[in-house]
Chains A and B, each alone.
Chain A
Amino acid sequence: MISVTHLSKKYGKFAAVDDLSFEVEDGEVLGFLGPNGAGKTTTMRMITGFLPASGGRVRIGGFDLYTDPVPAKQRLGYLPENPPLYPEMTVRRYLRFVAELKDVPAGKTKSAVGLAIERARLGEVADKRISKLSKGFRQRVGLAQAIVHEPPLLVLDEPTSSLDPKQRFEVRELIAELKGKHTVVLSTHILPEVSEVADRVVIINRGRIMAVDTPSRLSERLRGAESVRLELAAAGVAGDVLRAQVTEALRQMAGVSAVDVDLADGGTVHARVQSEVGVDLRAEAAAVVVGRGWRLLALSAEALSLEDIFLKLTSDEHQEGA
């Protein structure tokens, strides 16, 4: 649906976006992840034709965005970081205006606007002025604006930033509904958003791509360590003694890289065992605990969250640069 090749944006010597290439298949949701200032908004603006690129190409549905902008832009719905709203207009009038700009045929404007209002759940405020709406509703008007002409490609730049948690949840739900009907490129610095809706994730930092993969494979591939959490108790053993015993017992397992044991209230002990890459210690740790005659209360494996990966990738880069 959209293919981006060697895209870059330079301001003097500073490269805000540096040689970015990626492709998004029809119906796919691509998450664009990066810290603030990584070049996300610049990239979104370039792939929507708002900012001209210093180099590289963008093709939307086979049309080059720079040499053939009209058909390319007809296939595009875009929600910028700040929704582009005219506060003095009513929601319905505003959407009609956008439909006219986006070449919705004159006879279909009314139904397209009605459908967008329905899909963005704006029915109750459709005839209110935009200036009277809350931030959450405005963001939904922004979404309705992006989908009013049923574009095959949707580009959403940080659609949930600056919303409160409830509004964020609602907007995220709407985005999940768009999945399947549109190809979506979604930029964000909020991680759960990406792992929830994206099929693939691009992580960028300082204008360069750090990683591209599915959220699950990304966490698998980049898993530096796995850990097992244990909760256990033993009758008739003093806390400190038990702690020392547990630490020693767990350390003896093969493939352990670190053991961390804490005393909790009521005589239970919490332990965290880190293992080397690819070693699963869950079964063995359980056997050790039971073998010693302690009571195993809980056991769970911990994988690295996308958040850890994100931090790892972006801070590695930071060290490299320093």
Chain B
Amino acid sequence: MRHALAIARREIESYFVSPIAYAVLTIFTFVSGLFFSNMLVYYIRQSALADSMVQKYGYSDYQLDVPTVVLAQFFQNEAFMLMLAVPLLTMGLITDERRKGTLELLVTSPVRGGEIVAGKFLGAFGFLCLMMLPILPMFAFMGQGGAWEPGVIASGMMGLLLLGGAQIALGLFISSLCENVLVSAIGTYGVLITMQFIDTTTSSTQSYWITILGYFSFYMRQVNSTRGVVSLTDLAYFASYITLGLFLAQRSVEAIRFKRT
């Protein structure tokens, strides 16, 4: 455990001297803010329109609960943003160690493959948690308007972190397969985009196989959490993804040594 924490700490420190990580952090925060304020303004307007319709005609087609709608939309957007951000954070995790020759240090130290992988995962996940911090004031801002949905916020944030964890675990595995960071990033984008949108194929046609395929989708699971639903199956789903990613990465790190370098 001490080894894993040492590796995680070093990883987070190296993010903070990397221009890529700063760029990701800045753009993620900026675009999140943009989405949030745009959506908030849009739905408040819609709600005001609905109110005036009620006053005019005595009824309205719209029944808007602004905080719930905004939060659900916002968390879904954030999930999309994570899909864009995570590959940039995971692309170098193992790839860089191979390129710099520092994998030779890790492997010849009394450190197990599982500890290397756990440390790398915790490092990237720690940075992801830091990335989420600037979002929190936005919710406080919404709270100023009177409506405040702490339950939805908590489940939505948890959903994002679980999703991010699953994405990091897969990115970590792909990074362990690649000798080039760009290939690692592109490969991770390919996998994450597939996992995110695999459910859109399920809705167009009906088939046993497509339903099964749909079970693998990130979106279908994460979307529950944006509505304030916390279910054990969703938790188990993301936990299995993380376990699978870490397991594959650990096997792969052990196998790198068998390759001719």
Contact = CB atoms under 8 A, between A and B. Distances in A.
Interface of A: 11, 45, 48-52, 69-71, 73-74, 76, 78, 80, 82-89, 93, 97-98, 100-103, 106, 145
A101 B109 contact: yes
Given A11-B260, A86-B100, A89-B13, A49 B111 contact: no
Contacts, number: 69
Contact of A101 (B13, B14, B106): B106
B108 A98 contact: no
A86 B105 CA distance: 11
B100 A84 contact: yes
Contacts of B100: 84-87
Contact of B108 (A52, A71, A73): A73
Contacts of A70: 110, 112
Nearest to B16: A88
B111 A101 contact: yes
Interface of B: 2-3, 6-7, 10, 13-14, 17-18, 100-112, 257-258, 260
Contacts of A49: 107-108
Contact of A98 (B17, B104, B105, B260): B105
**From B103, B104, B106, residue with most partner A Cβ within 10 Å:** B104
Given A97-B6, A97-B10, A50 B110 contact: no
Contacts of A80: 101, 104-105
Contacts of B6: 97, 100-101
**From B10, B17, B100, B108, residue with most partner A Cβ within 10 Å:** B108
A73 B17 contact: no
Given A80-B105, A84-B102, 9 more contacts: A11-B260, A51-B257, A73-B108, A82-B101, A84-B103, A84-B105, A100-B6, A101-B109, A103-B110
A98 B110 CA distance: 11
Residues of B contacting A: mostly:
helix
A132 to B, nearest CB: 13
Nearest to A69: B110
Nearest to B259: A51
B39 to A, nearest CB: 38
A101 B104 contact: no
A102 B106 CA distance: 9
B258 A73 contact: no
Nearest to B107: A50
A97 B119 CA distance: 13
Nearest to A77: B108
Contacts of A88: 14, 17-18
B11 to A, nearest CB: 10
9 contacts: A11-B260, A48-B108, A71-B110, A80-B104, A84-B103, A85-B100, A86-B14, A97-B6, A101-B105
